[in-house]
Each structure stands twice: as structure tokens, then as C-alpha cells.
Amino acid sequence: MMMRKLKLELPLNQTQKVRFERAMERLKLLTSETNNSVIVADSIHEDALLLKGHGTSEVDGELLANVCGVIVHVDKLVYVRTLRAKYKPEVRDIVVGRVIEVFQSCWRVELNSNQDGVLKLSSMNMPDTVQRRKTSADELNMRDIFVEDDVVCAEVGCIHRDGGLELQASSHKYGKLEKGELLKVDPYLVNKSYHHFHYIESLGIDLILGRNGYIWVGEHVQVQDPLIVETRKEQSHTPLETRQNILRIGNAIRVLSNLGFTMTKEVIMETSNLSNKENIDLHDMLGSEFHVLVAENEAGRRR
């Protein structure tokens, strides 16, 4: 877990300031004990056999970090993944993005990266659920699937040498996302995991943690069953309670992002539950007191 200053200049009173600084100090101590992060000029390793990668340099026989970030070891190679950097894609990453252009036989998707992703029609699971070769008629009807500004979920399928990204959405769990909100956090806050799709049954919502820092919170849809999908499309509204649940989870994510805490389903749900436990109104979740409470709660949880 990485620690950094608040993105927002919150108006903390003197008591809140003392509590917040105390909680953050405890978290910094816990972080240093687990050795998960480095700062400028921290020693990475003294092994001279290590290969120096991006963000590292050798000074007086020691391998040092020259940027803030997270140490990554790949065999003998050591490099530092910098904070707040653009998303650096890897094959099989689960990503969430927004369609920005419809081409002939493909869609261009913005992914919070230096390169936009390309989702080809041939890499799409068609709405009729039939596995077949795509035809010219499918190309003419591409706008019936996705149009500009649609939010979609996909998987990184291929990365070309020039940096170009090819996406794929060959399963029903991928595709268009509706009836929810898209949130943006720093990509380093979303770790790679076997589980990026979460159904929070008690709240009736879906949570998708995109590796590119885009997080989707929306009304639950049974994507495995196309008949249910068609039925849900006919509904004109999302129940008020579900909308409130979406907003509460979304605000929990915003607070965690402001504090620089890693995004997991467990931490997000604990933050949301804390707001209910403390009777924090939806709008007040973004205020100073709740930020302090979340910092204190995280320090206690990790300890």
C-alpha cells in the first residue's frame, strides 16, 4: 500500500489534523515495515548481479531508486513502477474504457494510457450469442453495439511493438456497461488479481476494478443469460436504493483514492460500511471528518 498526500486540500480543524497526521504516521510505519515502497534514493538492493531497470541507478556500489514508486523484480531485473504514471498495459489485463470513435470493423477505446485501445468486431462476442464469422451486415450495424461515449469492459489481447493495443471481448462478462458510474483512480492503486469482477449481492451492484485505473460501479446484470439481459434493457429506471448504493460505493472509492489506498473489494466495502456505521450521509462522505475516519480505520485494520 502506497502513501501520499491528499489530492484535495480538505479544511481540517485542529483536532482532525492531529488525528489524521497520527493515523498517516502509523500507516507510514506499517508500510516501511512491509518494505512495499521506496522513495527517492532509498536503497533497493546491494546485489551487484542485479540488472538495473527503469527508475534505478548505481551510486557508490548501491542500487538506488531515483523516482518514487514500487519495486518490481523480474528475475535479475529490478525496476521502479512510478506513481501517478499513465497505465502501462499487459496482456490479459482487465480494463474499462470509453468508446471515442467508431471505425470500419473496429472501435477505438480510451484507456487512460499513452495509446488508445482498438476493439475489433472480429474480437467481439455478438449480442445474438452465436459464435460465427462476422459479416458485412455486422459492420453496418456496429453502432447498434457500441457508439461514442459508451463505457465498455474488455481484456487486453495483444500489444504490438509500436505500442498499439488490441482488445478482445469474446465472453459475456465483457461488453457495454450501463446504469452506473465510471470512476478514475491512479492505475497503481489497482493491483493485478484473479478477481476484477465483483458482484456485491447484498447491494445488488456490480464492481469492476479496471487495471487501467477506471472503476465501474453499476446495477447488477446477469450477463451470462442473454434473455435476462434483454429483459433488463426494457427497464426504464434503476431503483432508488440501488442508485444510493452505487453512489455510496463510488464515494468510498473517491475517498480511498484521495488517501492513496490500494483498491480491493474488501477495502472498498469496509469503507462503505464504515460510512453506514457512523451514520455518514452520502454527501458528507467527501468531507474532512470521513477522510480522517477512513485513515484511522485503515491504520487500525492493518495493525
The 8-class DSSP code of residue 210 comes to: -
- Domain-located, residue 46: yes
Helices assigned H by DSSP within the chain: 14-34, 136-140, 226-234, 240-259, 265-277, 288-302
Q: 3-class SS at 223?
A: coil
pLDDT at res. 280: 96
**Side chain identity at 151, as an amino acid letter?**
V
pLDDT at res. 213: 95
- Domain-located, residue 204: no
The 8-class DSSP code of residue 102 comes to: E
State percent of the chain over pLDDT 90.
Answer: 49
Across the range 82-88, mean pLDDT stands at 75
Q: Is 237 exposed, middle or buried (0-12, 13-18, 19+ CB in 10 A)?
A: exposed
Q: Which residues pair with 231 in a beta bridge?
A: none
Q: 3-class SS at 62?
A: strand
The 8-class DSSP code of residue 113 comes to: B
Helix (H), strand (E) at residue 180? strand 180-184
- Domain-located, residue 237: no
State percent of the chain over pLDDT 70.
Answer: 78
Number of domains within the chain:
1
pLDDT at res. 129: 52
7 confidence band (pLDDT: 50, 70, 90):
very low
Structural domain range at position 76:
38-83
241-272 as b/e: b if 16+ CB within 10 A: ebbebbebbbbbbbbbbbbbbebbbebbbbbb
The predicted-structure confidence for 104-134, as pLDDT tens digits, reads as follows 889 999 999 989 999 999 888 766 555 556 7
Residue 3 CB partners (closer than 8 Å, separation 6+) = 24, 27, 28, 31, 37, 260
Nearest to 190 by CA among 205, 171, 211, 216: 211
CB 296 within 8 A of CB 274: no
The 8-class DSSP code of residue 189 comes to: G
- Domain-located, residue 138: no
Q: Is 214 exposed, middle or buried (0-12, 13-18, 19+ CB in 10 A)?
A: buried
Other Cβ atoms closer than 10 A to 161:
5
pLDDT at res. 175: 92
CATH number for the domain including 51? 2.40.50.100
- Domain-located, residue 188: no
- Domain-located, residue 54: yes
Nearest to 83 by CA among 212, 188, 190, 184: 188
Across the range 5-30, mean pLDDT stands at 80
For the chain, give the mean pLDDT.
Answer: 82
- Domain-located, residue 69: yes
The predicted-structure confidence for 25-79, as pLDDT tens digits, reads as follows 888 787 665 544 444 434 444 455 667 776 777 777 777 777 667 677 666 677 7
Q: How far apart are CA 205 and CA 243, in angstroms?
A: 9
- Domain-located, residue 277: no
Backbone CA torsion sign across 171, 135, 152, 110:
positive
